[in-house]
Structure formats: structure tokens, C-alpha cells
């Protein structure tokens, strides 16, 4: 299954199962997005996400992951937190932004996605940060083509962010291959300057730019999971899992498979009609 270029290639049947996992993630994140409001705790968001995943017959991939075992089913990273924030008693306040990351397993196949959500009305600066990060993710997805390099994705992500202002692009964490595990080779950097393996039909990757209002440097909090900016700047994180098919790009964790956004960007949509 792993070619010489280290990418696990999936058959059309395997992609159908990954799409089911991706849809569980997409629907769970939509439910979380609906529930976010001032006064709700990140723990309550975790509970509703866990219910959504389990009631779909899927398994939350984050729960018990790695060492020390990750203790929840989603990550909730607030304001200056970049990724891997642990849900708990924190009450979300008007103007906060919360990055919610979710992973699910269906019949052994993984989906992984994240979105940054405004709590009530947030500042223009925070709204811009979220917009730039979301656009950078789609710029990365739009750079995917058969025979192209994984490094093309990071180059497109970085170029978009740089075109929008003085933002930081986090270097310490990257996107990744995904399939029978959540994290598989290769890394998918969010910066240009790497080549990486060539993408083929059946390549599946998670693209996940993390963008900051200040410097890109990060630190891990004493809980051993929460990643925050060193300088206290705010961060946004948007992620999708995609497949490259013979038809084009299929965004497995988007409700519509990415059809609308890819059309807007002039990129062939790779999923079923
Ligand atoms: N889903 C994250 C990523 O995008 C990783 C989550 S780590 C976990 O790669 F511990 F929360 F599972
Ligand atoms: Co990921």
C-alpha cells in the first residue's frame, strides 16, 4: 500500500469509507459551531461532539491518543491557544475565538478537520485572522494536482498568508498523511521551501494551517498538550482531509465535498456528483 514515495494510496472503495469518516467529522463540527455561544464551556462542546461521533457509529480518534493520553474527543483552543487545547470548565466569552479540532474513525479509516469559530461578535482583527486562515487552507487545497509535490501545498498556504499582512505561520506543527492512522507520513508543512513526495490518485492528506497575529513561535503548557503562542498573539486553525482522485480534489471533511469552494477557485472537484 505504501509506494516508494512513502504515500499510502487508497482505492476508490477505501475512499468511500474515508468519506464516511469525513462526514462524521463535518457534521460534528457543524453541531459544535451551532452550539458555540457566550456562556458555554469547552467541556460542554466536547460532550456534544462525543455524542455526535458515537451516535454515528464512529470512534473519536483523539480520546486516549499518544502520551500522555489525550483526555477528550475534540481539541478546543481559545484565543492565544493554537492547537490541542483540552476541553474543560473554561467558559467561552463574547469576543473569544475557539479552534475546534475533531477526528473520527469509521471501519478503521480516519477523518480529521478543524475550524475556528467566533464566540458572539469578535474584533475585526480576530475576524480577519480567521478569514486569512480559512482562505490559506483553501489555497493549499487548490494547489493539489496529480504529479505535484506535497510541498506545493505549504508554498500556497504561506503565499496566501503573506499576501494578507504581517501574520505568523506556525512552523512547529504541520499537516500529515492520513488513512488507517490519523497521523501518517508525509508531513504537510504550511510553509514553502520543501519538495516532499509527489501526489498521485488515491493520495489522502490533512492540510491544517495555523496562523497567528504576532510571532509564529509556540510553547506547550504544563498540561503537556495545550499549544499556545509565546507572545500571547491570537491564533486560528482550519483543517480539512482531502483525497486526490482521477477527477480532482475531494474534500472528505467538507459537507459538500468541497464542490462549491473548489468551483469558485477553478479547481476540478474530485468527488461523486
Ligand atoms: N487532529 C490533530 C491534528 O490535526 C491532532 C489532535 S491530537 C489529539 O493533527 F491528541 F488531540 F488527538
Ligand atoms: Co490533523
pLDDT in tens, 125-179: 999 999 999 999 999 999 999 999 999 999 999 999 999 999 999 999 999 999 9
CA–CA dist 252, 259 (Å, integer): 11
Check if 224 has its Cβ closer than 6 Å to any atom of ligand 1.
no
CA–CA dist 136, 189 (Å, integer): 12
Report pLDDT for 273.
85
Report pLDDT for 6.
64
Check if 66 has its Cβ closer than 6 Å to any atom of ligand 1.
yes
* Residues in the 5 Å CB sphere of ion ligand 2: 112, 206
Helix axes 12-35, 42-55, angle to 10 degrees: 140
CA–CA dist 200, 241 (Å, integer): 15
Report pLDDT for 5.
53
| Alpha carbon of 273 to ligand 1 centroid (Å) | 31
Q: Which of 21, 112, 133 to mutate for ligand 1's pocket (most ligand atoms within 8 Å of CB)?
A: 112
CA–CA dist 100, 104 (Å, integer): 13
Q: Which atom of ligand 1 is nearest to the CA of 70?
A: 10
Tally Cβ neighbours within 10 Å of residue 34: 10
Q: Which of 28, 84, 239 to mutate for ligand 1's pocket (most ligand atoms within 8 Å of CB)?
A: 84
Check if 219 has its Cβ closer than 6 Å to any atom of ligand 1.
no
Report pLDDT for 229.
99
Check if 167 has its Cβ closer than 6 Å to any atom of ligand 1.
no
Check if 81 has its Cβ closer than 6 Å to any atom of ligand 1.
no
Q: Which phi and psi angles does 133 have, rounded to 5°?
A: -70, -45
Residue nearest to ligand 1 atom 11, measured at CA: 62
Report pLDDT for 129.
99
Report pLDDT for 2.
52
> Strands 184-188, 109-118: parallel, antiparallel or unpaired by DSSP?
unpaired
| Alpha carbon of 77 to ligand 2 centroid (Å) | 14
Report pLDDT for 187.
97
Whole-angstrom CA distances from 270 to 206, 245, 256, 273 are 16, 6, 11, 9
Instruction: Name residues of the chain where pLDDT drops below 70.
Output: 1-6
Report pLDDT for 87.
99
Amino acid at each position: 500500500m505504501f509506494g516508494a514515495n512513502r504515500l499510502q494510496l487508497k482505492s476508490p472503495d477505501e475512499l468511500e469509507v474515508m468519506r464516511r469518516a469525513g462526514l462524521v467529522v463535518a457534521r460534528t463540527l457543524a453541531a459544535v459551531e451551532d452550539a458555540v455561544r457566550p456562556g458555554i464551556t469547552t467541556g460542554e462542546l466536547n460532550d456534544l461532539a462525543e455524542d455526535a461521533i458515537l451516535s454515528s457509529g464512529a470512534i473519536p480518534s483523539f480520546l486516549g491518543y499518544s502520551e500522555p493520553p489525550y483526555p477528550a474527543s475534540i481539541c478546543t483552543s481559545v484565543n492565544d491557544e493554537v492547537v490541542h487545547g483540552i476541553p474543560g470548565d473554561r467558559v467561552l466569552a463574547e469576543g473569544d475565538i475557539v479552534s475546534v479540532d475533531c477526528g473520527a474513525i469509521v471501519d478503521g479509516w480516519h477523518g480529521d478537520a478543524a475550524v475556528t469559530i467566533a464566540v458572539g461578535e469578535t474584533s475585526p482583527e480576530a475576524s480577519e485572522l480567521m478569514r486569512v486562515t480559512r482562505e490559506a487552507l483553501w489555497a493549499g487545497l487548490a494547489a493539489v494536482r496529480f504529479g505535484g509535490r506535497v510541498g506545493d501545498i505549504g508554498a500556497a498556504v504561506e503565499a496566501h498568508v503573506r499576501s494578507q499582512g504581517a501574520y505568523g505561520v506556525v512552523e512547529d506543527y504541520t499537516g500529515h498523511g492520513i488513512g488507517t492512522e490519523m497521523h501518517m507520513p508525509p508531513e504537510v508543512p504550511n510553509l514553502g521551501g520543501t519538495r516532499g513526495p509527489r501526489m498521485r490518485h488515491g493520495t489522502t492528506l490533512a492540510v491544517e494551517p495555523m496562523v497567528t497575529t504576532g510571532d509564529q513561535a509556540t510553547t506547550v503548557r504544563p498540561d503537556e498538550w495545550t499549544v499556545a503562542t509565546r507572545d500571547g498573539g491570537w491564533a486560528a486553525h482550519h483543517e480539512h482531509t482531502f483525497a486526490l482522485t482521477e477527477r480532482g480534489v475531494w474534500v472528505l471533511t467538507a459537507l459538500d465535498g468541497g464542490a462549491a469552494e473548489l468551483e469558485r477557485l477553478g479547481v476540478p472537484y474530485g468527488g461523486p456528483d
